[in-house]
Amino acid sequence: MAKQPQPQPQPQPDDDLIELSSHHPRGELPTVPERAVVETPIYEIKAELFKALGHPVRVRTLELLVTGAQPVSALLADLGLEASHLSQHLAVLRRAGVVTKVRAGNTVTYALADPCVADLLSAARSFLLHRLGETNDALADLAETPEQA
């Protein structure tokens, strides 16, 4: 008698995990990368996202894409980079799922993958402006304090 395969336990939803593969057609199991994501704590996934954003060229590229999709030629002109360098940065952003690309003939156009990316950039700007304001206030207070001998 052939041994019956045992059903695989399904991961239980958890507030600290991302569930990306809960609806697969015909009960198919998720692919290995999807399983890895399902079992990865959200803080690790966030860290990977922030690593992908961790270069000034990539942040500036995203800022340029906030206004809408841009062809690579426009990004090259705005950033003043060699094509090979921009290509590497765009590949990092694509792997992170932050941008998408569309090819039409010889033109490759990039866009933000989700409007939330613009919100993320805006939140970072607000945070930095707030911190800068606190620093300026502290410096002003320091300047007003008389020197002690």
Q: Of how many residues is the chain composed?
A: 149
Tell me if 72 is assigned to some domain.
Answer: yes
Query: In this structure, which amino acid lies at residue 3?
Result: K
Identify the pLDDT of residue 19: 42
Identify the pLDDT of residue 145: 75
Q: How confident is residue 140, by pLDDT bands cut at 50, 70 and 90?
A: confident
Tell me if 104 is assigned to some domain.
Answer: yes
pLDDT over 80 (residue 120): yes
Tell me if 67 is assigned to some domain.
Answer: yes
Tell me if 136 is assigned to some domain.
Answer: no
Q: Which residue has the higher pLDDT, 63 or 143?
A: 63
Across the range 95-113, mean pLDDT stands at 97
Range of the domain at 73: 31-113
Tell me if 96 is assigned to some domain.
Answer: yes
Where b means 16+ CB within 10 Å and e means fewer, 64-94 reads ebeeeebebeebbeeeebeeeebeebbebbe
Tell me if 26 is assigned to some domain.
Answer: no
Identify the pLDDT of residue 20: 44
6-20: pLDDT as tens digits: 555 444 444 444 444
33-79: pLDDT as tens digits: 555 556 889 999 999 999 999 999 999 999 999 999 999 999 999 99
Identify the pLDDT of residue 34: 54
Identify the pLDDT of residue 4: 59
20-34: pLDDT as tens digits: 434 444 444 444 455
Order of strands across the sheet that contains 99-104: 70-71, 107-112, 99-104
Residues 6+ apart with CB under 8 A from 57: 79, 81, 85, 86, 89
Tokens of 48: 């990977």
Distance (Å, whole) CA 12 – CA 82: 47
Tell me if 65 is assigned to some domain.
Answer: yes
Tell me if 148 is assigned to some domain.
Answer: no
- Angle subtended by helix axes 72-79 and 56-65, to nearest 10: 130
DSSP alpha helix (H) spans, 8-115: 32-38, 42-52, 56-65, 72-79, 83-95
Domains contained in the chain, number? 1
Mean residue pLDDT across the chain = 81
pLDDT over 90, % of the chain: 59
Residues 6+ apart with CB under 8 A from 16: 41, 42, 43
HSE-up (13 A, CA, CB side) for residue 3: 3
Q: What CATH number is associated with residue 108?
A: 1.10.10.10
Identify the pLDDT of residue 36: 54
